[in-house]
Each structure stands twice: as C-alpha cells, then as structure tokens.
Amino acid sequence: MAINPRAIKTTGYLLEAQGLTVGFGPVNIIENLDIQLKRSEILGVVGPSGTGKSVMMRALIGLLPRRGGRIRYFGRDIDKLSLSARRKVERRWGVLFQHGALFSSLTVKENVQVPMREHMDISQELMDELAELTLSMVGLAPNAGAKLPSELSGGMIKRAALARALALNPDILFLDEPTSGLDPVGAAEFDELITSLKETLGLSVFMVTHDLGSLYRACTRIAVLGGKKVMVEGDLDTILAYDDPWVQSYFHGNRAQTVQVQMAEEDKALV
C-alpha cells in the first residue's frame, strides 16, 4: 500500500508516544503512557469512562499541554521541530471531533474548503471539484454541500466533519468517538466507510471509541486504557483473552454478546 511512500526515520511508526503524562491540577490523568500507531492500521482505543482516552488524543494532537513524554510523528520528535515544520506535520493529520465541530456559519462545502483555502494555492474551481468529490466519497448527497451545519442530521454532521478532516489528504486520521450519537445502522455504515477509506486512501486511523461494534468491525488493533496507562494492546483475540474484570465485562457482557450476534448476522447477509 505505498501510496505516499514517505521516508520514515528511525522507527517504523507513524506516531509514537513515550512516557506521555498529562494532568489537570494535582492529578495526572495519564502517566508514563506509551502508544504507537503503525502504517495502514485502525487502532481502537477503549477504556472505562474517565481513563483519559480523549485526554490522550488531545495531548497527541497538541491541544493539551503535556507534563512529560516525547511524541514522534513520522519519526520526528515534534518538540524539536521549528514552528513551520510543525505546521507541516499538522497538515498531515486530520481530526474528527466528537460533535463534528463544523464551523456553524459556513456551509458544508465551505467547511471542507477551509483547510484547502488556508494551506493550498489552488483555484476556486478545483477546490469546488475536490470538495464535491470528498463529500461524495464520504457518502453525502449532492445537495448537502450548500447546507449549513445546523440543517444536518447527526450522521450527516459526522460525515461532513470527516470530509473536512480528509480535505488535505492526511496520512493519519484521528477520530474521537466517531459513532457516538449514531443509531446502530448508521454506526455500522460509518465503520464501513472508515474501513474503505483506509483501504483506498492509505490512511492510518487512531480511533477513540466506546462502540464495541467499531472494535469488531473496523479496528485492526486495540489498546485498552486503564490505571493511567495502556493496560493491554493487541488484536481482538489478545484482548478477549486478557484477564481483567473491566475487559472481561466489557467484551463478554450481555452487550458484547448482542454485538457478536449482530456481526454473525451481518456476515451471513454478506454471504
């Protein structure tokens, strides 16, 4: 999958955080946490509420200050980069916020064009075409582009925000609870969309989620947060076999069984 083969220095990871420590006031929410994102994988981050999943993601993308630790993107330590080099790195990731965070005074199409307009020197015509193309790729109807965010449904907001995150053809896509607030069918469609975009665009995806369905359907690797650190990481089977009360109840509880039944049915429907 060498679509954008870019030189990776020192390590094979697109994103690598070591000893990450983030806290508020006297408390550290996460402490000495290590996490990596490999090329072309969908990493799902789960954990009980309040273990700092979103805090970790916000620290990784530089929205929260760190108390300690090093973060490397594409093999380069972001603390050692100049401001302009940092901005370049930032353009290589796209972020989908939990509630979309679309600019409410701009239309959907203008929202998608904001990063293009700010960072690229391309004609309005090409921007219009690319915005239309991206909106079509994320599965929005042709008339959605002219709408304002307040006129969209929850699922459409997520798709529009995803289109904006994809506008600059990022290498890494950060998703914060991408399927929260969607009905199970909409959530399943969104998972499929992420998987297919990962295939076609060669994305690597970092997903914070609560949704078991996403973990089963989309993620190629899962990291479970607990005790201010990554408690366990690996593929689904590794996690299912891990002996921890929270992991056991989360992945083997009633809810998990329902999801497993759903998955089996979806598989049958595909055959």
Partner 1 sequence: MATVAIHNGYRLEEGGDTLRFKPFGSWIIRNLTEVEKTLSGFTMPKSSAPVVIDLSDLEKIDVAGAWLIHRSAKKFAAANHPISFESVGRAARILLQEVAESDRPSIPPEPAPSKAFTLVEDAGKSVISSVGDVRRLTELIGSMAAIGASMVRRPAMLRFTPILYHLEQTGVRAIPIVALITFVIGAIVSQQAIYQLRDFGAEQLAVNFVGIVILRELGVLLTAIMVAGRSGSAFTAEVGAMKMREEIDAVRTLALDPIEVIIVPRLTALVIAVPLLTFIGNLSALTAAAMVSFFYGGVPIDLFIEQLRDQVDMINFTRGILKAPFMAIVIGLVAVLEGLQVEGSTDSLGKRTTASVVKSIFLVIVIDGIFVLYYAMVDG
Q: Where along the sequence are the contacts to partner 1 (CB under 8 A)? A: 1-5, 104-105, 116, 120-123, 125-126, 128-130, 132-134, 136-137, 142-143, 145-146, 148-151, 166, 168-169, 199-202
Amino acid of residue 84: S
Q: Which is nearer to partner 1, 82 or 150 (CB)?
A: 150
Q: Shortest distance, CB of residue 142 to partner 1, whole angstroms?
A: 5
Buried residues in 216-240 as b, exposed as e (16+ CB within 10 A): bbbbbbbbbbbebbbbbbeeeeebe
- The answer to whether 214 and 198 are in contact (CB under 8 A) is no
Q: Which is nearer to partner 1, 202 or 226 (CB)?
A: 202
Q: Shortest distance, CB of residue 58 to partner 1, whole angstroms?
A: 22
Q: Which is nearer to partner 1, 125 or 267 (CB)?
A: 125
Q: Which is nearer to partner 1, 141 or 264 (CB)?
A: 141
Q: Which is nearer to partner 1, 170 or 213 (CB)?
A: 170
Angle at 257 between CA 251 and CA 259, to 5 degrees: 90
Q: Shortest distance, CB of residue 106 to partner 1, whole angstroms?
A: 9
Buried residues in 95-130 as b, exposed as e (16+ CB within 10 A): bbbeebbbeeeebbbbbbbebbeeeeeeeeeebeeb
Q: Which is nearer to partner 1, 1 or 264 (CB)?
A: 1
* Cα four-point dihedral sign 22, 172, 17, 177: positive
Q: Shortest distance, CB of residue 71 to partner 1, whole angstroms?
A: 23
Q: Shortest distance, CB of residue 41 to partner 1, whole angstroms?
A: 17
- The answer to whether 263 and 216 are in contact (CB under 8 A) is yes
**Alpha carbons 215 and 236: distance in angstroms, whole number:** 8
Q: Given the DSSP bridges, would you call strands 221-226 and 42-46 parallel, antiparallel or unpaired?
A: parallel
Q: Shortest distance, CB of residue 32 to partner 1, whole angstroms?
A: 36
Structure tokens at 250: 């989360």
